[in-house]
Amino acid sequence: MKYLCDLISIYTNMKKIIVLLVSFLITGIYALPQKAEPVKWDTQINSTEKEGFREIVFSAHISGEWHLFGIQLPEGGPHSTVFIFDKIEGAVLSGNIHEINRPIEEYNPLFEMNLKWYNHSARFIQGIEIIPGSEKILIKGHIEYQACNNVTCLPPTRYNFTLEETINKTLQNSETSASSAIAPKHERLNKAYLNMWKPVKRQMEEFGESPASTEISYHKAYVNGFKGGLLSLLTPCLWPMILMSIYSFQQQRTSRRRSLFRILLYSITLLIVFPLCGILLSSIFGIQIFYQFTTNLISNLFLFILFVILAAFLLGAFQPSIISKKKAVGNFIGLSILTVLLSLSCTGSYIGSYLTQAASLDPISGPFLTLNGFVSAFVLPVAIILIFTTWNPATPKQAHRLLLLNRITGFFILAYSLTFLSIADLIYGKHLLNREIFLVLWIIIFSFLGIYLIGKLKFTHDQETPAISVGRFFLAILTFSFTLYMVPGLLGAPLKEIGALVPPLYAQDFNLYTKDFGNHFDNYNEGMEYAKNSEKPVLLEFSGYGCAESRKMEASVWTYPRIKHLLDQEFVVIRLMVDDKTKLPEAEIISIDGKPTEITTFGEKWQALQQVKFGSESQPYQVILTPKGDPLSSAYGYSIDIKQYINFLNNGLIRFKQQSK
């Protein structure tokens, strides 16, 4: 009965918060799109080898288990995909529209006929011939199509498109698909500039790169989130939450039954509130908030301050209890919000990629399942630890071990907080926290950790330890060894094992080791011009200051002697940072997925280049190109396999030499 009274009391105290949360949720739901489109279309004009002719390319991106019906289906069946041109100026149609990729063709018992359909993606091409003397091409029309899955079919749907291109008479053979994609203000576009931006998705597919599969189900949405949660447990971001939870529950020890009730309430609150907070964030700022959180100046400075406060708590500066007897649910909700922020700091891009897929199922239930799976991976081990620690009677030895674990984690969290400050400094190019200063601070922090472990440093509330244990002695040895390992980094050593955490080598002011790659550029146009003059292939990498995987690859793979020799002698290396906040000299208007977008920073420009030319948004993303911008390889993502990367470089180099003969 008393537990029922507790629940009534909790509800009475928290009803204002619950009403507010529900209001936010309703607002978020209405802010999200009410209907997920299973088929998304992309249209563009491509040039051809034949002068005066163009190709209109229609690309369909099909979500999950949906499929798109093909063209020219038999009568009495589902709606065929039909392309209707309502208005054409400056050109005429040449031939009929045809399919690029082969559709699936099977007998359908429902319609009692053979039907053709596409899964995942479909491409169609319509040729056009430019009317002599025309100054521009204007094409308006619409696509009528029908999509079905294994359960239901949508009614025939209409997609309107408008394509417009200005014809440069002095450059009849220029890549018009690129000119329609990018148009810098007050800048004359030359042929070489346009060629470097032309889409190469089809050529990439010839090297074995297929469009990313978007197949998703509710079960897979939950599993993807659960995998992200397990990944977050391997990063330092959520460690403070685990230790703070254990500490606070031990401070509020009562009977076993009441402790179990609180642990259950704590777990349920996290499982509900965490996904709701994530949906609320995505409804207000869009799913891109999960990608942008770690590349924003304000969020990085906030995370730096937050982690310093958490480190101070773990080191004994203050001892607040996050679990109060009277406001348990309120504190649990606050803890859930804090968990959202901390999880975003380490795995935001990972969560964002899976939320994008889950939203194709349903804009609410899909992301809710993914976020619920994520927090489940956190709640499950934490609940087990809490049950274990609260079930057994508290002993001085147990308290001492928890205190030691708090202190050690506090040092790690303090060191990790500097990574957020470093990312903000790199993104905005202030060079206030270069690699040497960062490493000096880490060396000092871990030196103090070693001194603490051997009992020569004490904090508030620490007990007297006349002798240290053997385990603590070995930890001290490991800590001092790691501290000495970082010292050569002050002189330019790559420090491969921690390359994902420390600033990259190009942020090093003083370097006694071999200089960074001689043929390195951070500007696409300048690098491609250099490659043209030097007649070398290009290794193009899309990276980010906040991309830990890119840093790890550059520190572990690019510094390998054989790979470094290849990059120095055989390639021109272009590294483009998609989160670079440096302002462009002049704003540019770029068409992304048919929508004109104003670009004001170099990072936005390089991100648009990756989307327009390669149809990709993930980092790290590497590809080998000719000096004209044509691909020589499929894309290469994150991998620190040395042999695999050497094969990637050698295959691209061989193709380049074969084409140059």
pLDDT in tens, 160-177: 888 888 775 433 333 444
| pLDDT for res 445 | 95
Strand pairing category for 538-543 and 621-625? antiparallel
Q: Is the pLDDT of residue 155 over 80?
A: no
**pLDDT computed for residue 537 by the predictor:** 93
Q: How far apart are CA 619 and CA 295, in angstroms?
A: 13
Bridge-based pairing of strands 104-108 and 121-130 is unpaired
Token pair, residue 617, equals 């948004």
Q: What is the reported pLDDT for 411?
A: 92
Q: Is the pLDDT of residue 150 over 80?
A: no
Q: Is the model more confident about 113 or about 164?
A: 164
What pLDDT, on the 0 to 100 scale, is given for residue 660? 76
Q: How confident is the model at residue 333 (pLDDT cuts 50, 70, 90)?
A: low
Instruction: Name the residue with tokens 């010292």.
Output: 487
Q: What is the largest CA-CA distance in the chain?
A: 94
Of the listed ranges 319-328, 343-352, 506-515, the least confidently predicted one is 319-328
Average pLDDT over residues 406-413: 87
Q: How much of the chain exceeds pLDDT 70, in percent?
A: 76
Residue-level pLDDT at 475: 93
Amino acid in the structure at residue 443: I
Q: Report the range of poorest mean pLDDT among 109-118, 190-199, 270-279, 328-337.
A: 190-199
Query: 499: how many CB neighbours lie within 10 A of its CB?
Result: 24
Residue 290, C-beta contacts closer than 8 angstroms, at least 6 positions apart: 281, 282, 344, 348, 349, 351, 352, 355
pLDDT of residue 451: 94
Q: How confident is the model at residue 590 (pLDDT cuts 50, 70, 90)?
A: confident
Can you give the pLDDT at residue 619? 78
| Token couple for 116 | 């053709």
Q: What is the pLDDT of residue 624?
A: 92
Residue 395 has pLDDT above 90, yes or no: no
Q: Is the pLDDT of residue 415 over 70?
A: yes
Average pLDDT over residues 351-360: 73
Q: When comparing pLDDT for 464 and 12, which is higher?
A: 464
Residue 465 has pLDDT above 90, yes or no: no
What's the full length of the chain, in residues? 661
Q: Please tell me the predicted confidence (pLDDT) of residue 90.
A: 84
Burial profile 273-293: b = 16 or more Cβ within 10 angstroms, e = fewer: bbbbbbbbbbbeeebebbbbb
CB 110 within 8 A of CB 149: no
Nearest alpha carbon to residue 504 among 402, 517, 296? 517
Average predicted confidence (pLDDT) for the chain: 77
pLDDT at 292 over 60: yes
What average pLDDT does this structure show over 215-225?
Answer: 81
> What is the pLDDT confidence band of residue 23, given thresholds at 50, 70 and 90?
very low
Domains annotated for the chain, with CATH where assigned, are 39-173 (2.60.40.1250), 218-394 (no CATH), 514-660 (3.40.30.10)
Question: How many Cβ atoms are within 10 Å of 15's Cβ, its own excluded?
Answer: 10
Candidate ranges 48-52, 310-314, 386-390, 393-397; pick with highest mean pLDDT: 310-314
527's tokens:
């690098």
CA-to-CA distance for 370 and 385, rounded, in angstroms? 24
Best-predicted range by mean pLDDT among 283-297, 481-495, 508-522? 481-495
Between 603 and 592, where is the model more confident?
603
pLDDT value at residue 484: 95
The pLDDT value given to residue 538: 93
> Is residue 599 a contact partner of residue 584, using CB atoms and an 8 Å limit?
yes
Contact 523, 456 (CB under 8 A): no
E strand intervals along 470-620: 520-521, 538-543, 572-577, 583-592, 595-601
Task: Indicate if the pLDDT at residue 488 is higher than 50.
Answer: yes
Band the pLDDT of 10: cuts 50, 70, 90. Answer: very low
Name the amino acid, one letter, at 569.
Q
pTM, full prediction: 0.60
| pLDDT value of residue 474 | 94
Side-chain half-sphere exposure of 572, counting CA atoms within 13 A:
25
pLDDT for residue 344: 67
